[in-house]
Chains A and B, each alone.
Chain A
Amino acid sequence: MNFLLDNLSIGFSVALTLQNLSYALIGCLMGTLIGVLPGLGPVATIAMLLPATYSLSPVTALIMLAGIYYGAQYGGSTTAILVNLPGEPSSIVTTLDGYEMAKNGRAGPALSAAAIGSFIAGTIGTVGLAAFAVPLASVAIKFGPADYFSLMVFGLIGAVVLASGSLPKAIAMILIGMLVGMIGTDVNSGVERYSFDMPELADGIGFVVVAMGVFGYGEIMQNLSRGEIHRDLLTRKLTGLMPTKEDMKAMLPPILRGSAIGSIIGVLPGGGAMLAAFVSYTIEKKKKLKPDEVPLGKGNIRGVAGPESANNAGAQASFVPMLTLGIPPNPVMALMIGAMMIHDIQPGPQVISSNPELFWGLIASMWIGNLMLVVLNLPMIGMWVKLLTVPYRWLFPSIVLFCAIGVFTTNNTVWDIWMVAIFGLCGYILMRLGAEVAPLMLGLVLGPMMEENLRRALVISGGDWSVFVTRPISAFLLLMAALLVVLILSPALKKRREEAFKEDD
């Protein structure tokens, strides 16, 4: 416990410097902004802002980027409650009860339930992250190449099993991502693969370019194909933000349950904010109603407080595998790994001991950022609501412009602008074919890492593949991955999974 306090005090001394505080604030504001605005998510935003962080110190850069991610969870709930449109996928379930509450004139309590729940969950998530990261990293440091390879297999399988949509298609997207990741110079042999003798391809394809093309342009083209989104703003004036005593009493248990669910699910590969919110809602729905309670889906405060707590806790917990294992559980974390590598920090279990101020500073800043979000957002809710009235036809040209500038300034070459157009087109086509693009990003980042670990593992074993099942850690992880596949393929579960994902469409 003392050890934890010592570390947290290092963290707060880093996070409380004026520079880091102001970048945390910028990140949180930016995150809320994109959370409120439809059609722009944290992945595209973080990719756009990466070049702007070059001149910052690594810890400051990560603090700002992290702020964008969890700030977006706050912002997403505002639109979910007020206009019945989730700003972020993680707020999809919040629309069910949040919008009903707003219709009944209880938008204020719904918004504060979301904010207070998020803050409590953020606090629990931060403590959990601080407590679990160290033991996990000390286990991870014993991992050999074979164990890492199996961990990545488990991670990728987990990511697609937990994601919605078709399983074979998601696996295919991972494989496509891996192959795209093969482009460029092979670190081991120095051979340039799939580069067609183009010097620009020798360095490989940056994932910023892919993320921006697929999540930025692909998303916009998909939105424009669907036609103008109608946003009916319910309440222009908000009164009575504070929840009543009964509200407080009703929302506390779901907040605590949501925080616990989020903290656990966020750590899992493929987990993160969206799945956590979904599971929390399912659990709240199963709970027996009190005699005077309105059912869930009809404007019950529990249906807002639980999922909103869970998505925030999930967002924070997904930093655990990224920081301790160097493995991204979702595309946002893949970008964070990229941000660390830009600053010459190799993500992995050694980060805690080699860069303690970065690790603990980031954790402390998350708690401060959550506090900022509550303090800022409840009074400023009127301003965010005004932003909702900005029509999409003004938004998307701005997004295109910032993507283009962001892509260009990443390496200051116009080559990246051609590449982002190609990936934008690919992303659009794949989305039209009903494939999800998140697994592609994970494959892109994990592919080269898997190749390297596979190679090392087999060199050590002299080409003997049984090393993956004779090493206990590796065998355990592969067994878990196999179990996941069996589970998902079992007919009973398959049907339930399909139903579950249908519900939130």
Chain B
Amino acid sequence: MVKHRQNFVFGLLCMLMGIAFAIGAKGYSVGTSARMGAGFFPFYVSCLLILLGAWISVTSLGQDHKPEGNIGKLYVRPVIFILGANLLFGVLLVGLPSVGLPPMGLLVSVFATVIVAAMAGREFVWREALLLASVLAASCFVLFVVMLKLNLPVLPSFLTA
């Protein structure tokens, strides 16, 4: 019986990560303490992490269930839209040659990113999101291109070529 679910899962994750890094470290020379190889430090840090993870998991077992340790509902919506907006920004800014998407430039990327990110919230109003995107697109242009002179493509490549 798990009394503290957060700790139990966290400990398991630590063990997994430690095992993965320890296996990786074994691929490099570990060496001796006088002549440490590339694998020495990561290997022993991984071992510590595995032990600590095991300790955290084991101590989270018990009978008296602790409600503060519940993980709670996992919200997928913010994760998808926030990270999606971020990825979309990258894809639109530089293009995706493998699907034939040309670089779309800063302004298009800003619009898409802001609108998709806004969808992560509970209340999404198209008019508001468009207004916000317009304001941000204008201020990004002034701030990053005019003032800071960063080397960013502004318009889609097929318009400038």
Chain B hits for A176, CB < 8 A: 14, 17, 49
Do A393 and B140 touch (CB < 8 A)? no
Tell which of A179, A186, A228, A428 touches B46, judged by Cβ atoms closer than 8 Å: A179
Do B132 and A432 touch (CB < 8 A)? no
A414 in contact (CB, < 8 A)? yes
The distance in angstroms between the C-alpha atoms of A73 and B77, with both chains bound, is 32
Could you tell me the distance in whole angstroms from the C-beta of A166 to the nearest C-beta in chain B? 7
Do A404 and B34 touch (CB < 8 A)? no
Do A191 and B82 touch (CB < 8 A)? no
The distance in angstroms between the C-alpha atoms of A412 and B144, with both chains bound, is 13
The distance in angstroms between the C-alpha atoms of A398 and B148, with both chains bound, is 18
The distance in angstroms between the C-alpha atoms of A50 and B105, with both chains bound, is 22
Chain B hits for A298, CB < 8 A: none
Tell which of A172, A228, A394, A400 touches B10, judged by Cβ atoms closer than 8 Å: A172
Could you tell me the distance in whole angstroms from the C-beta of B82 to the nearest C-beta in chain A? 5
B102 in contact (CB, < 8 A)? no
The distance in angstroms between the C-alpha atoms of A55 and B39, with both chains bound, is 38
Chain B hits for A221, CB < 8 A: 75, 78-79, 82, 120
For window 131-188 of A, CB contacts with B under 8 Å fall at 166, 168-169, 171-172, 175-176, 178-179, 182, 186, 188
Do A225 and B75 touch (CB < 8 A)? yes
The distance in angstroms between the C-alpha atoms of A52 and B32, with both chains bound, is 44
A5 in contact (CB, < 8 A)? no
Could you tell me the distance in whole angstroms from the C-beta of B123 to the nearest C-beta in chain A? 6
Chain B hits for A421, CB < 8 A: 83, 86-87
Do B82 and A175 touch (CB < 8 A)? no
A231 in contact (CB, < 8 A)? no
The distance in angstroms between the C-alpha atoms of A182 and B37, with both chains bound, is 13
Chain A hits for B24, CB < 8 A: 193-194
Do B36 and A433 touch (CB < 8 A)? no
Do A417 and B82 touch (CB < 8 A)? no
The distance in angstroms between the C-alpha atoms of A168 and B86, with both chains bound, is 33
Do A178 and B45 touch (CB < 8 A)? yes
Chain B hits for A188, CB < 8 A: 36, 38
Closest to A422 in B: B83
Tell which of B35, B45, B82, B113 touches A424, judged by Cβ atoms closer than 8 Å: B82
A451 in contact (CB, < 8 A)? yes
Do B87 and A194 touch (CB < 8 A)? no
Tell which of B37, B123, B132 touches A189, judged by Cβ atoms closer than 8 Å: B37
Could you tell me the distance in whole angstroms from the C-beta of A451 to the nearest C-beta in chain B? 4
Chain A hits for B152, CB < 8 A: 409
B101 in contact (CB, < 8 A)? no
B56 in contact (CB, < 8 A)? yes
Do B82 and A459 touch (CB < 8 A)? no
Could you tell me the distance in whole angstroms from the C-beta of B73 to the nearest C-beta in chain A? 8
* Given A193-B28, A193-B38, A458-B34; A424-B86 close (CB under 8 Å): yes
Could you tell me the distance in whole angstroms from the C-beta of A167 to the nearest C-beta in chain B? 10
Could you tell me the distance in whole angstroms from the C-beta of A273 to the nearest C-beta in chain B? 26
B9 in contact (CB, < 8 A)? yes
Chain B hits for A485, CB < 8 A: none
The distance in angstroms between the C-alpha atoms of A459 and B36, with both chains bound, is 8
The distance in angstroms between the C-alpha atoms of A305 and B117, with both chains bound, is 39
For window 388-429 of A, CB contacts with B under 8 Å fall at 392-394, 396-398, 400-401, 403-405, 408-409, 412, 414, 417-418, 420-421, 424-425, 428-429
Do A52 and B52 touch (CB < 8 A)? no
For window 31-79 of B, CB contacts with A under 8 Å fall at 32-42, 45-46, 48-49, 52-53, 55-56, 59, 69, 71-75, 77-79
* Given A179-B42, A179-B46, A451-B41; A408-B118 close (CB under 8 Å): no
Q: Which B residues lie at the A interface, using CB under 8 A?
A: 6-7, 9-11, 13-14, 17-18, 21, 24-25, 28-29, 32-42, 45-46, 48-49, 52-53, 55-56, 59, 69, 71-75, 77-79, 82-83, 85-87, 89-91, 93-94, 110, 113-115, 117-118, 120-124, 128-129, 132-133, 136, 140, 144, 148, 150-152
Given contacts A221-B75, A393-B128, A401-B113, 12 further A-B contacts (CB under 8 A): A176-B14, A189-B37, A397-B133, A397-B136, A400-B85, A409-B152, A414-B93, A418-B90, A425-B79, A429-B13, A430-B10, A435-B10
Can you list the 10 inter-chain pairs with the closest CB atoms, starting with the nearest?
A463-B34, A417-B90, A224-B78, A397-B117, A191-B38, A404-B89, A400-B117, A225-B75, A451-B41, A434-B6
